């Protein structure tokens, strides 16, 4: 895939990625991106399904237009930043599942995840389901994750405190049932 065509018909986020100063980012400029990253970015940008990619060891965040409502107040500043910086309050829950998907080269499905999303001046509890899929390079190593949002549910309306979501410290502690959303 020609890097010059990568962002065509990619909507607002495609335009943002086209002008983003990638030379100052750890993942470098799109013409240096590996083919499998460019292919996934193209699929993501042209999809109407909310998606994001976390690339590299720092899980650099790339996303499509359909993901913008999930980004909330973080849009557009979350583009190109490490996921741990974008969701610092939720990272203790997100990191183990993402790290396990990379370490095990296996997808995950998370259903009914509850997150506090910052939208404008307000914060809102939302629930949604999503999956992480490993992005495998030609050397058979997982270089990143593609996340697809499968469902967007209504705001929880104050039920966050009543829902217990386990905090996992080590990716080795994430079992298959947890990864599959059971």
For position 114, which CATH number holds?
A: 3.30.450.20
What's the structural domain count of the chain? 1
Q: d(Cα 120, Cα 74) in Å, to the nearest integer?
A: 9
Show the domain range for 116. Answer: 3-179
Q: Which of 6-20, 41-55, 95-109, 149-163 has the lowest mean pLDDT?
A: 149-163
What is the DSSP secondary structure assignment for residue 153, as one 8-state letter? P
User: Is pLDDT larger for residue 7 or for residue 170?
Assistant: 7
pTM for the whole structure: 0.78
**What pLDDT was estimated at residue 57?**
94
Number of H helices and number of E strands within the chain? Answer: 6, 5
Contact at 8 Å (CB) between 149 and 129?
A: yes
Q: What three-state secondary structure class fits 136?
A: strand
């Amino acid at each position: 895939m020609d890097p010059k065509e990568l962002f065509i018909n990619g909507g607002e986020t495609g335009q943002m990625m086209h002008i983003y100063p990638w030379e100052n980012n750890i993942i470098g400029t799109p013409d240096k991106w590996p083919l499998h990253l460019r292919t996934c970015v193209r699929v993501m940008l042209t999809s109407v399904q909310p998606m994001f990619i976390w690339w590299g060891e720092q899980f650099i965040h790339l996303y499509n237009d359909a993901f913008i409502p999930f980004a909330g107040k973080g849009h557009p500043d979350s583009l190109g930043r490490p996921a741990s910086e974008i969701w610092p309050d939720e990272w203790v829950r997100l990191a183990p599942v993402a790290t396990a998907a990379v370490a095990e080269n296996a997808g995950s499905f998370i259903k009914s995840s509850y997150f506090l999303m910052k939208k404008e001046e307000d914060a809102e509890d939302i629930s949604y389901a999503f999956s992480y899929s490993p992005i495998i390079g030609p050397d058979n190593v997982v270089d990143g994750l593609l996340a697809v949002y499968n469902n967007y549910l209504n705001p929880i309306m104050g039920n966050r405190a009543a829902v217990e979501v386990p905090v996992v410290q080590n990716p080795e502690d994430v079992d298959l049932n947890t990864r599959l959303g059971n």
